[in-house]
Structure 1
Amino acid sequence: MYGISIDRQSSQSATRQLCDQLRAMIQAGRLEAGTRLLPTRVLAKEWGIARNVVVEVYEQLTAEGYLEGRVGSGTYVAEGLVVSAAPSAESRLELAKREDGKSNASPQTSVIDFATGIPDQTLFPASAWARALKAAGEAINEEHSSYGDIRGDQALRSALRDYLFRAKGIQCSEDQIFVVSGTTEGVSLLAQSLSSRFHSIYIENPTIGFTRDIFQQQRYNLVPVEVDRNGMNVDRLSRFASGHLALITPSHQFPTGSLLSIKRRQKAIHMAEEADTYLIEDDYDSEFRLRGIPVPPMHTLSPARVIYAGTFSKTLMPSLRTGFLIIPAGLTRHIADMKERLNLYTPLVLQKALARFIADGQFERHVLAMKKVYKKRRMLLKDRLYDAFGSHISVLGDEAGMHVLVQFTDARLAQLPWKETADYGFLVETTDDYQLPSPFPVETKGIVLGYGNLTEQQIEEGVQRIRAFAASIE
């Protein structure tokens, strides 16, 4: 059906295979806009799989913006998508070859901190990591007495290349991967490397503070673009102005949690191509998509225009201070030269340990285990918030990552002094903490609650304290 088949011997799940094939057909125009897809029961019978797998595929592609449901009518290919030529037989063959080759704070803590971006360190596989570190240390010899390759250890870049293809569909060479000491260093390296050619950057509003600070320090002009429930609103822009970069968190916008729709992804890439510029994709936590499968990065749509930034701070631990960039082939020499001039090397033993940790499958096993933990915590937090506030709130976040955004439909709740809650035994962040001055109104205001490093008991107690605070002020 639809010319789609499931490889029962593949290491990829049936859900992933079906999503990839349907998505490719839509992108290539073989399934046209407005086409009504067959009912899930029909396809499940045809493909010999459980109906809930087909339902999950439809939900995943609807979340990405490729499909749209019409009440009482069915599921259709979304209107307005930009289609491209189907991949050549040669590229499909190369793809096939590549695939074959292969918390807790103490319950007695007086203040419950709903801090964002902090994973549960009590569940970190410390023994496996210690073994990887020990093996890496023992493997160091005279060959490794120098600083090594400025791009990073070859074994780590090789492990990353294979993992990124396997988990996210990213195709790149080892030469395009640059190991950095966290996203902060990676973004700083990009800002400095590209400053001779670019002077301004489109940046999400609201957004994480350190990225905007980095570009401001490098004398870039910040052009805020507001975020709504479909991510950065690039529809506000008719084109990218000359000399402008763009920085986007498409898979899970911070702090709103929104997912950049496929239409907006395509538009941003088209404008970048027209302006001969680059999009910087900050993919800080897409491994923790808690419903469906990870959304394919923007990099897969345009490897020549998207600079991809990844990190291990959320998946493993912030203190690891290790991340990576995937640089378009035409920029690698320039970025490498700048990295060398700045003397930005990452400790070699750490890199070798991480390479072993990934190659041995420990990294992916840990991510899978933590997805289950964070999904349970997110559901608990969401349920308790609705129990406490009912229709006075909306909980947003696209079921991903380690935080949610709580928007208030009751103006009295929205106007409470949320920065003055320590006396009530809890701390939260607000979207105002991440706001940039802008002439356009920002729709996604509220409080941001992280749950990665909180126990279920702390989540329960924390929501009670939030409710008590709101009641006392009202």
Structure 2
Amino acid sequence: MYGIYVDRESKVPVTRQICQQLRMIIESGQLSAGTRLLPTRVLAKEWGIARNVVIEVYEQLIAEGYLDGRAGSGTYVAEGIFHISDSRIPTISSGAAVQPQPKPEREQIIDFATGVPDQKWFPRQIWAKYLKEAAEGTLSEEHNYGHVQGDLSLRSAICEYVYRSKGIQCTAEQIMIVSGASEGFFLLAKSFAPKFHSLYIEDPTIDFTQEIFKLMDYRLVPVEVDLNGMRIDFLTSITPGHLVLLTPSHQFPTGSLLSIQRRHQIIRMVEEADSFVIEDDYDSEFRLRGIPVPPLQTLSPSRVIYVGTFSKTLSPSLRIGFIIVPPSLINTIAEVKDKLNLHTPFIIQKALSQYILDGQLERHIHKMKKVYKKRRNFMTERLQHLFGNDISILGDEAGMHLQISFHPKAYALLPWNDTAAYGFQAETISKYRIAKPSPSTPTGIVLGYGNLTTEEIEEGLSRIYQYASQAGIPRE
């Protein structure tokens, strides 16, 4: 049915196989907008799989924007998906007064920091084993700086991993190992500087990427973000000399997912402008409902530079990331990397390559998804219990943080940047804005749960509620 084939011998999960094929069928125009898909029971019988699998496929593609679920009517192909040529379709293989409180000891403050994985779960013993084996098995001639793009065994392992987990098809030659995603952004900013001088960037967005491009004398052009990612519709075209930086799979800090319609729009724009998109995929492995969303890179491998990191999946202390560049840019970026003498520790690369090849990385990610999903569910339940309809919890069910939007203005106008006296710290959305709002502009807060226990989350949320109560909002 629909020309979909389920390969039961493949290592690629059935859900991913069907999702990938349905995306291709829709993008190629074989299923036009408004087409009603067959019921899940019919397809489950036709394909010889469990109905729950088909339901999961539908839910995944609804979340990505390919399908439109209409209660009591059925599931339909969504509007606004543009045809993609065959060459771009991947093959299958000041606020209210607050009463001063005694300041707790520093170790008592609960920090809802974002982007911090739980280091108590870091596989220390297993990692030590791989590190020891890498050190003992390294040849004397390998104790040099190594290849400027990184160790070939690690680049090859990453190639296999990103294909299995994200559907990215690339070669080891396209991969460059960097010391964290921040070095990757710096390398790209430096490499593109002779031709590009401005950057379309999400607003709000992570602060360090803003700083890297500003330090390299790029002019930042902020573009508003909503529940479907960057407002691509605000751009009529890409101006020559401009790059685009996106976090399409899990926008930071809002948590939104860039819709397929906007993905197609931005790809078409950069192609017309002879420009490029830099895709920051910092934590898409931790999508807590459904399967990871295919990267933007899979839509246009020649126009998207993919930036990945192991800081969220393993540990920030490893300082290892990677970039996947189009073949046309390999020599240019490698030359800049060589001139800057940017090398990543060889023994760590060796250890990581074998760790990935042995399936340890995917086992660790699978385990941590369960941990983070439990924490997110617990946090949302407690927030709803404490605040009820006074807040909205925003963002896709993914990663290690969520966003809270306050409805009573009095809550939003509290000085959320100065809460240590109440025993907690939380980041505000305004912290990440490029176009800085006025002090009276209502804001929301971002709560990270990656490195907190459920007990710490419960206590921290109680402190947040106590702090918010100072605004004097009556409760029923």
Q: TM-score range by the shorter chain?
A: over 0.9
- The Cα RMSD (Å) is 1.8
Q: Which residue of 1 aligns with 2:372?
A: 374
1:56 has 2:50 as partner = no
- Which runs of 5 or more residues in structure 1 are unaligned? 97-107
Change beyond 3 A, Cα 1:439–1:431: closer
Task: Find the aligned partners of 1:327 and 1:6 in 2 and give their Cα distance.
Answer: 31
1:77 has 2:77 as partner = yes
Aligned pair partner of 1:356 in 349, 354, 357: 354
1:310 has 2:308 as partner = yes
Task: Kindly report which structure 2 residues correspond to 1:131-280, keeping only aligned pairs within 5 A, or say none.
Answer: 131-280=129-278
Question: What CA deviation, in whole Å up to 9, does each residue of 1:198-217 have, x standing for no partner?
Answer: 00000100011110111111
Contact 1:224–1:438, Cα closer than 8 Å, also in 2: no
Q: Match of 2:462, as an amino acid?
A: Q
Aligned pair partner of 1:398 in 391, 396, 399: 396
Q: Which residue of 2 aligns with 1:99?
A: none
Shift in Å at residue 87 of structure 1?
6.2
Question: What CA deviation, in whole Å up to 9, does each residue of 1:349-399 have, x standing for no partner?
Answer: 010011011011111100000000000000000110011111111111200
Shift in Å at residue 164 of structure 1?
0.6
Q: Which residue of 2 aligns with 1:110?
A: 108
Contact 2:232–2:266, Cα closer than 8 Å, also in 1: yes
Change beyond 3 A, Cα 1:439–1:268: farther
Deviates more, 1:215-224 or 1:408-417: 408-417
Question: What CA deviation, in whole Å up to 9, does each residue of 1:425-448 have, x standing for no partner?
Answer: 1110000110111799xx994100
Q: Which residue of 2 aligns with 1:105?
A: none
Change beyond 3 A, Cα 1:246–1:258: same
Shift in Å at residue 55 of structure 1?
1.1
Contact 1:257–1:397, Cα closer than 8 Å, also in 2: yes
Task: Find the aligned partners of 1:35 and 1:14 in 2 and give their Cα distance.
Answer: 23
Q: Which residue of 2 aligns with 1:332?
A: 330
Task: Find the aligned partners of 1:439 and 1:197 in 2 and give their Cα distance.
Answer: 32
Shift in Å at residue 415 of structure 1?
1.1
SS in 2 for 1:316: coil
Q: Which residue of 2 aligns with 1:122?
A: 120
Question: What CA deviation, in whole Å up to 9, does each residue of 1:236-291 have, x standing for no partner?
Answer: 00000010001000000000000000000110010000000000000000000000
SS in 1 for 2:29: coil
Contact 2:413–2:443, Cα closer than 8 Å, also in 1: no
Q: Match of 1:392, as an amino acid?
A: D
Q: Which residue of 1 aligns with 2:285?
A: 287
SS in 1 for 2:108: coil
Task: Find the aligned partners of 2:330 and 2:155 in 1 and give their Cα distance.
Answer: 14
Contact 2:227–2:395, Cα closer than 8 Å, also in 1: no
Contact 2:409–2:442, Cα closer than 8 Å, also in 1: no
Q: Match of 2:20, as an amino acid?
A: D
Q: Which residue of 2 aligns with 1:32?
A: 32
Aligned residue pair count: 458
1:411 has 2:417 as partner = no
Contact 2:296–2:304, Cα closer than 8 Å, also in 1: yes
Identity %: 60
Q: Match of 1:254, as an amino acid?
A: F
Contact 1:305–1:328, Cα closer than 8 Å, also in 2: yes
1:44 has 2:47 as partner = no
SS in 2 for 1:11: coil
Per the normalisation by structure 2, the TM-score is: 0.94
Task: Find the aligned partners of 1:3 and 1:307 in 2 and give their Cα distance.
Answer: 32
Task: Find the aligned partners of 1:146 and 1:418 in 2 and give their Cα distance.
Answer: 49
Question: What CA deviation, in whole Å up to 9, does each residue of 1:278-336 have, x standing for no partner?
Answer: 00000000000000000000000000000000001111011111100001110110001
Task: Kindly report which structure 2 residues correspond to 1:340-351, keeping only aligned pairs within 5 A, or say none.
Answer: 340-351=338-349
Q: Which residue of 2 aligns with 1:102?
A: none
Shift in Å at residue 43 of structure 1?
1.3
Q: Match of 1:263, as an amino acid?
A: Q
Q: Which residue of 1 aligns with 2:461?
A: 463
Task: Find the aligned partners of 1:85 and 1:34 in 2 and give their Cα distance.
Answer: 21
Contact 2:143–2:346, Cα closer than 8 Å, also in 1: no
Contact 1:256–1:444, Cα closer than 8 Å, also in 2: no
Question: What CA deviation, in whole Å up to 9, does each residue of 1:148-187 have, x standing for no partner?
Answer: 1100000000000010111111011111100000011110
Contact 1:228–1:444, Cα closer than 8 Å, also in 2: no
SS in 2 for 1:134: helix
Question: What CA deviation, in whole Å up to 9, does each residue of 1:100-150 have, x standing for no partner?
Answer: xxxxxxxx9411100001100111111110111011001111231321110
Task: Find the aligned partners of 2:181 and 2:355 in 1 and give their Cα distance.
Answer: 20
Change beyond 3 A, Cα 1:246–1:439: farther
Q: Match of 1:15, as an amino acid?
A: T
Contact 2:382–2:458, Cα closer than 8 Å, also in 1: yes
- Which runs of 5 or more residues in structure 2 are unaligned? 94-105
Q: Which residue of 2 aligns with 1:101?
A: none
Deviates more, 1:78-87 or 1:123-132: 78-87
**Greater than 3 Å deviation, 4+ residue runs:** 85-89
